[in-house]
Amino acid sequence: MIITQTLRLPTLEVVKANTYFETYTITDDEDNPVDLSSYDTIKMDIRSGLTANTKLLHTSSLENGDITISGDFNEVLTIKIDPAITKEWNAGTYHRDILFVNDTANLSTTLLQGKIIVINNITSL
């Protein structure tokens, strides 16, 4: 099953030098799990603005291991970015979206969009 509706994500606050972590269970309009393994590419960009030509903060993907798929029906999407990466981020507001590509169906769609607020950490080791 291929889904095509773009969902707005809640604003996520990330403290610098902490693990970025979010997980979503993806279902269709009838609450059936969507098999995410049917997508050849799943990629998330975090950028300073709302267009592809704005400053790129980070890219997560299946290929680089930041994005994983799990669950009984491969319906759970998890994004995890290590603290070594987030410690390099400047405090501020950024935007993210997640692109899903199915080469067989010739489909490329952004299904999830939202903001990230990076906050400076106060306590450090």
pLDDT number for residue 17: 92
Q: How many residues does the chain have?
A: 125
| Cα 33 versus chain centre, distance | 18
pLDDT number for residue 4: 53
Reported pTM: 0.88
The pLDDT tens digits for 71-125 are: 999 999 999 999 999 999 999 999 999 999 999 988 888 888 999 999 998 887 6
Which residues contact residue 58 at a Cβ distance below 8 angstroms, ignoring those fewer than 6 apart?
45, 46, 81, 85, 89
Model confidence band, residue 31 (pLDDT cutoffs 50, 70, 90):
confident
Q: Are 80 and 68 in contact (CB under 8 A)?
A: yes
Which residues contact residue 97 at a Cβ distance below 8 angstroms, ignoring those fewer than 6 apart?
44, 45, 110, 112, 113, 114
Q: What domains can be seen in the chain, in order of their start residue?
A: 7-119 (2.60.40.10)
